Every structure is written in structure tokens, then in C-alpha cells.
Chains A and B, each alone.
Chain A
Amino acid sequence: MLKWFIRNEWREMKRSSMWEQSLAIKIGVGFLFFILFFEFAVGSIYFSDKLEEIFPDDDPVEKFNSFVLYGFSLGFLTRFFMQKVPVLSIQPYLHLPIKKSSLVNFVLGKSLLSFFNFIPIVIITPFVIFQLAPYSDYSSSGVWAYVLSMVFMVLSVNFLSIYFKRSLSVNSWISGVIALFIIVLGILDYYGIVSAGKFSASVFTLVLSQPVLLLLPLILAMVAYLANYRTLISKLYPEENRKAKKGVAVQEIKYLKQFGEIGQLMQLEIKLFLRNKRPKSTLIFIPIFLLYGFMFYPQKIYLEMSGMLIFVGLFMTGPILMMYGQYILSWESSYFDGILTSIGDFNRYFRAKYYIMAGTTVAAFIVTLPYVYYGTQILMINLACALFNIGISPFIVLFLSSNNKKRLDLSQGSAFNYQGVSGTQFILSIPIFVVPLLIYLPFWAFGNPEAGIAAIGITGLAGIGFNKVLMNVVVQRFERRKYIIADGFRNKN
């Protein structure tokens, strides 16, 4: 049976939508993961090798061990938020004569392949090689016990985080208690009342001299595994693993009703955003966009680079424009034929999208007003960028949206989700960032950056003035390409 599970798992991975992306995206994603691993490995090798130099007063082994507990707690928290046990993936096996116990063991075993389990190994290995192996301070059985207890700790953290995540989705108050506990412990440690570092150092160093202690993490890992096993085996019913659907609260934004068909279309767009997982999960990035200024404004060097500030301004005043804009039309791919047959006037259809982008840009500009604290120059730049993001960028986005022809699965989250991504999304970001900089550059070259900023704003105003013309260009291109788009959307993979 195991053979079959592994084979199916391998096939699933190989055939997942991620691998069916274009080669460029595959290389890009692969590179990202490679860099991440590489950085951990190199960082850890460097750190392990130089421990004595970085902390000349401390015993290197004890110093390293003082971080171990922090590392595992951090790992626990990250997994808690990011790792999931895809219990539903066993749905096709439930009606077959396969023992429930082997299904559960398989699901749990699969969790070991998680990316998060390899990071601690990458970090600990160099330490063992550089600091423990070459010296005879510790017996070889001690070193082996240390290595094994680290492995068992990784397993324990893996299974504990899964267990808590599962039971917490049922009892959310426990998650509050755990979060509180970790915070309180962190505070106590910070003020030196309790030292988790010292505790960690003494416990893990003790394993080196008392190899028997490795039984403790072993027992912890086993208990965590059994706890998971017991909850999972009693919960193998698919409908109980889906989130309980509460009655949907139907909300209408009455204000939009007075805008007739356009208002209705905007309403539809907003519902689409709030009721589907993928668009909803992109909303998390909005605060990151808006807080972008804090990364640049407090530093003097950036304040003198107005080109950089324009970039920041464009970014901050257009979060929705970018997140929502890059998949315009694709958002509606699952019912696009319905759109084509029911919408009579595509001018209004696109105008609804335009108002959403323009409206949210105005809102973002208002939210970023307090950045004026860092100088009136910032206000001027953001105003110019906002005008550009109202008058020009939406039309660029809408014009290029006719290139979107990949179906988008709205039910999946957006982080690390490359389904429905194509070259179009990358191309899109170029004009909305490059065009304003191109407008600005000549003025800057002749020593008048203020005029360049003004020019960006004026271009935006011109776009607002000529919006009817620009919209017609968008709609005409769409009318020419709609069959290609609809055909692409019908294609599920």
C-alpha cells in the first residue's frame, strides 16, 4: 500500500499546476527556494565556524544551545500559521478497502516532507560538523544522542504544531492562551526574570554528557504522533474536515445602488473579492503596501532620491490597483461566458472596474496623508502618484487585462500560489512603474525634479480628462480579443 501512496504522491506533485507553469516561472520559483535554503545553509556554516569569534566569552556549544529553544519555538509558530495537514486529499481513498489506520499514518508521514522540517536540519548540521564532531570533549555517543534528540525535536515540533492547529480550529480560546503564554514568556525573558536561553543551553548541553536524555524528545515525538493519530482517525469524515459553513450573511452596499448598472457591477466585483479565498487572501497585502513608506522615509539617503520616492508613492497609492488589476477578467474566469452573454455594454463593465481602482487609490492616498510628517515633498510626490494611478494606470491595467486568458481558481489561497499566473502579470507591472519614471527622468536630468513630479501629476490629470477616449481604446481591444479570452478561461488547466 505504501508503494502506491508514494507513487501517487509523486505523481500529484509532478502534475500539480505549479509544474505546468511556463519554464520561466518554474525557474523563478525554484530559484527562490534554492536561495532560501542556500542562505540558511551558508549563514549557519559561517555562524558555526565563527562562534568563538562572535561570542569570545562563552562556550560555543552552550551559546549555540541557548538559541535552540528559540529556534524551535519560532519553527512552531511559523508552522502553526503556514503548515497544514491536507486531510481532504485522502477523500478518493475512503471508499476503497484500505485500512483507516494506514490512511492516517500516510497523512501524518506526509507532513514530514514539509519544507519546514528541512530548515532546522540545514541549520544544525554545520554546527554538529564544526563544533561537536572534531573535538573530543564529548563522547561520540553523546554527539549521536545530541543529533538524534535534535531530529526527535524536529519531529515533535512538526507533530505538535499540526495537533494544536487542528484542535485549535475547534477551540479557538486555547490558541489565545498559548499565544499569551508565549508572549508572557518572551517578556519575562526580555526583562531577565526567566531565561529561556539559559534553560535551553543547559538542557541541550546536558544531552551531550547524558545520552540517555535523548529518550525525552523521543517520547515527546511519540506522544505528539499518537495524539494526532487519535484525533485524525476519529475524524476521517470529509464533511467534518471542511469548515462548517455558516449561513451566509448577504450584504449589500446600498450606496452603490444609485449608480445603476455600473453600481451593480461594482457590487458584484466587491462580492467576488470578499467571498473567495484567493482574492480575499491578497487583501492581507494591503497593509504591507501602505506601510511601505516606513521602510524608506525615515532614512535620509532615500529622502534625497526622489526617483525612489516616486516608486514608493506609486506603490502605496495603488495597492488594489496592483493586486486586483493584475487579474482583471481572470477573476471572473469561472463564469466568463455568463458575463459575455449578459453584459450588453462593455463600456460600463470596464467603467465599474475603473471606479473601483480609482476609488481605492483616492482612499489609499488619504490613508497615506500622515506621511507628510516626513516632509511636504512626500505629500507632493504621493499626490502626483495618486493622480497618475487614477488617470493613467487603471487604463494601462484594463488595456492589458485583455491579455489575461488563464483560468484562475478562486478557492485557493494566494501565497505561493502560481496557478493562473502567466507572463502577463509580469509585463503589467512594467508600464505602471516605468511610464511615470520616464516622464520624470528628463526633468530630473535637467536639474528640475519638482517639475518632473508635477509632470507625472499633470499626465494623470490629462488621463482623467480624456478618460472616455482611453476607455474606448480599452473596450475596442477587448471586443477584438474576447473570443480568445473566453476560450482560454474555458480551459481548466
Chain B
Amino acid sequence: MIDTRNLTKEYSGQVVLNLPYLLIKKGESFGLVGNNGAGKTTYFRLILDLIRATSGEVLINNEIVAHGENWKKITGSFLDENFLIDFLTPEEYFEFIAGVHHLSKGDLENFYAEFETFFNGEVLGKKKYIRDLSKGNQQKVGISAALLSKPEILVLDEPFNGLDPTTQIRLIKLLNHLKETAGTTMLISSHDLNHITDVCDRIVVLHEGQIHKDIQKNNNTLKELEDYFAA
């Protein structure tokens, strides 16, 4: 479903990402781990066509992301607060996203009902602009907005960062539920090895822009990852 071919990205001559080949299948839950500067966010930005690749390309459903726009209709994403229109209230922002995806008022109502526990009463009806929310609540707005259109592909960059423990646990449940019921293809990066093994079935370790490990999850995966990063 997401096909990466000979993808490289350089900044002032320095290669920060080099992925000769990586295929993420439909319905796969794909976890990306790696230390700071390993290239996780760069890879996600390339998938979402937010930066220009130095060479190679990413294809979603056989469409080169840099040349087409159809893939955007089936992709929900949240990387950082630059995705948010911060002078809107959360409700206005959701309404906007729903409008972009041609969703009805009823869809939006359903969405609010579904995410009520996730928001934990801290997002809706607060009469605050997004820019005035705490980092954690901005994160909630971004993640839920990415899910609003019930996308086939979900891309989240360190979604657990800045969330309180309750919400972290709720997010894990939510993602697992989506995986089972909707078969959503997920791409998630995290620094938390526990979280990533809780959610993802396939885990890739990036180091200095290259794939160092590509593991299908089993009982030993967490241990294996911990050993890798401890070394």
C-alpha cells in the first residue's frame, strides 16, 4: 500500500535518510523507532509530501505522492502542531476538517460521541482557541482530527508525547480497536518501546537514516528492542 523506492533525503550534502526499499502492506501496523536524528520524522514528512525527496519516491496506492493528490483523501495524519490551524477553536477546526472531507453534520456528531472519552472533557466546549490549549490537549486535537475522516492510512509522529498516562492508555486501546475493526494501515513513531510494541505488529529500527532492524512482533520483541538500544 505504501511503497518506498530508493528514497533519500540530504541536507547540505549530508544524507539523513536512505531507504532503498520498504513496503508497508494494507492493514499493517507499522512502528518506527530510533534515536533523535534517526530520520523518523523525515520519513513521515516524505510520505506526506511535506518535503521534497533528494531522490526516489514514495507511492501510496501506486500513486507517487509528490505527483498526485488522490492519496490525501484516504490518509489521515498528524505530525506536529504545524498541522493545526491554531486560531480556531477545536470545534471549528473539526468542522473545517469535516468540510474538507465532505462529511455531514451527523458524521461530526458521531465523531464527538466516539471521542468523548479520549477528549476527557478537556477539548470540546472550552471556548478556547487551539493555540491557547496545553500541548497535550493540542496533541489530542491533532490525533483525533487525523482520525475524523476514518482514513485507510493513519500517520502519527510520536503521538504519545505530551499525553497524560490515562490518555496514553486510551490511545493505545483506540488504535488497537481501529486495527481490528477497520483494518486501518498505521504508521506510528515513538520513543517509548512499550507503547510501540503494544500497538504495532511490525517494528522498524532506524539508525542514521537507515534500517537497522525490521521485526515482526513476537513475545521477545520488546526485549530485543531494549537490548538493541541499551547496547
Stretch at the interface among A59-67, A94-102, A339-347: A94-102
A4 at the interface (CB under 8 A from B): yes
A144 to chain B, nearest CB (A): 39
Contact A492 B131 (CB under 8 A): yes
What are 14 A-to-B residue pairs whose CB atoms are below 8 Å? A4-B96, A8-B85, A8-B88, A11-B87, A11-B92, A91-B83, A92-B82, A94-B50, A95-B83, A97-B72, A99-B69, A100-B69, A237-B51, A239-B50
Which A residue sits closest to B78, measured CB to CB? A95
A44 to chain B, nearest CB (A): 36
A493 at the interface (CB under 8 A from B): yes
Q: Which residues of the partner chain A approach B19 to less than 8 Å between Cβ atoms?
A: none
Q: Which residues of the partner chain A approach B52 to less than 8 Å between Cβ atoms?
A: 237, 240
Most buried by B among A1, A8, A95: A95
Q: Which residues of the partner chain A approach B51 to less than 8 Å between Cβ atoms?
A: 237-239
Contact A95 B87 (CB under 8 A): no
Residues of chain B from 1 to 48 with CB closer than 8 A to chain A in the complex: 48
Contact A237 B50 (CB under 8 A): yes
Q: Which residues of the partner chain B approach A99 to less than 8 Å between Cβ atoms?
A: 69
Contact of A96 among B100, B131, B132 (CB under 8 A): B100
Contact A96 B72 (CB under 8 A): yes
Contact B87 A16 (CB under 8 A): yes
Contact A493 B50 (CB under 8 A): no
Q: Which residues of the partner chain A approach B222 to less than 8 Å between Cβ atoms?
A: none
Contact of A97 among B69, B84, B131 (CB under 8 A): B69
Alpha-carbon gap, A95 to B99, bound state (A): 14
Q: Which residues of the partner chain A approach B115 to less than 8 Å between Cβ atoms?
A: none
B111 at the interface (CB under 8 A from A): no
Most buried by B among A8, A12, A92: A92
B177 at the interface (CB under 8 A from A): no
Q: Which residues of the partner chain B approach A1 to less than 8 Å between Cβ atoms?
A: 100
Contact of A92 among B49, B75, B84, B99 (CB under 8 A): B84
B101 at the interface (CB under 8 A from A): yes
Residues of chain B from 81 to 138 with CB closer than 8 A to chain A in the complex: 82-85, 87-88, 92, 96-97, 99-101, 129, 131-132
Q: Which residues of the partner chain B approach A237 to less than 8 Å between Cβ atoms?
A: 50-52
Return the 5 tightest CB-CB contacts between A and B, nearest first.
A97-B72, A97-B73, A15-B87, A92-B85, A95-B77
Interface size on B, as a range, is: 20 to 34
Q: Which residues of the partner chain A approach B75 to less than 8 Å between Cβ atoms?
A: 95
Alpha-carbon gap, A11 to B129, bound state (A): 11
Alpha-carbon gap, A50 to B170, bound state (A): 75
Alpha-carbon gap, A171 to B101, bound state (A): 40
Q: A16-B87, A237-B51 are in contact. Are A8 and B96 (CB under 8 A)?
A: yes
Contact of A98 among B82, B88, B100 (CB under 8 A): B100
A10 to chain B, nearest CB (A): 11
B192 to chain A, nearest CB (A): 24
Interface size on A, as a range, is: 20 to 34
Contact B100 A97 (CB under 8 A): yes
Chain B 133-174 per-residue mask, 1 if CB under 8 angstroms from chain A, else 0: 000000000000000000000000000000000000000000
Alpha-carbon gap, A238 to B101, bound state (A): 23
Q: Which residues of the partner chain A approach B73 to less than 8 Å between Cβ atoms?
A: 97
Residues of chain B from 57 to 88 with CB closer than 8 A to chain A in the complex: 69, 72-73, 75, 77, 79, 82-85, 87-88
B73 to chain A, nearest CB (A): 4
A267 to chain B, nearest CB (A): 29
Contact A91 B87 (CB under 8 A): no
Which A residue sits closest to B11, measured CB to CB? A239
Q: Which residues of the partner chain A approach B77 to less than 8 Å between Cβ atoms?
A: 95
B90 to chain A, nearest CB (A): 13
Alpha-carbon gap, A92 to B141, bound state (A): 13
Alpha-carbon gap, A331 to B77, bound state (A): 36
B60 to chain A, nearest CB (A): 12
Residues of chain A from 117 to 139 with CB closer than 8 A to chain B in the complex: none
Alpha-carbon gap, A493 to B79, bound state (A): 24
Chain A 73-98 per-residue mask, 1 if CB under 8 angstroms from chain B, else 0: 00000000000000000011011111
Q: Which residues of the partner chain B approach A12 to less than 8 Å between Cβ atoms?
A: 87
Which A residue sits closest to B97, measured CB to CB? A96
Alpha-carbon gap, A94 to B155, bound state (A): 14
Alpha-carbon gap, A12 to B92, bound state (A): 12
Residues of chain A from 446 to 493 with CB closer than 8 A to chain B in the complex: 492-493
B19 to chain A, nearest CB (A): 19
A295 to chain B, nearest CB (A): 41
Alpha-carbon gap, A8 to B52, bound state (A): 27
Q: Which residues of the partner chain B approach A95 to less than 8 Å between Cβ atoms?
A: 48, 50, 72, 75, 77, 79, 83
Contact B88 A91 (CB under 8 A): no
Q: Which residues of the partner chain A approach B50 to less than 8 Å between Cβ atoms?
A: 94-95, 237-239
Q: A16-B87, A95-B48, A492-B131 are in contact. Are A238 and B96 (CB under 8 A)?
A: no
Q: Which residues of the partner chain B approach A96 to less than 8 Å between Cβ atoms?
A: 72, 97, 100
Which A residue sits closest to B93, measured CB to CB? A92
Contact of A15 among B49, B84, B129 (CB under 8 A): B129
Alpha-carbon gap, A238 to B48, bound state (A): 12
Alpha-carbon gap, A99 to B72, bound state (A): 9
Contact A4 B100 (CB under 8 A): yes
Most buried by B among A8, A16, A100: A8
Q: Which residues of the partner chain A approach B82 to less than 8 Å between Cβ atoms?
A: 91-92, 238
Most buried by A among B77, B84, B87: B87
Alpha-carbon gap, A11 to B83, bound state (A): 17
Q: Which residues of the partner chain B approach A92 to less than 8 Å between Cβ atoms?
A: 82-85
Which A residue sits closest to B155, measured CB to CB? A95
Alpha-carbon gap, A493 to B131, bound state (A): 9
Chain B 194-207 per-residue mask, 1 if CB under 8 angstroms from chain A, else 0: 00000000000000
Residues of chain A from 1 to 35 with CB closer than 8 A to chain B in the complex: 1, 4, 8, 11-12, 15-16
Alpha-carbon gap, A492 to B75, bound state (A): 32
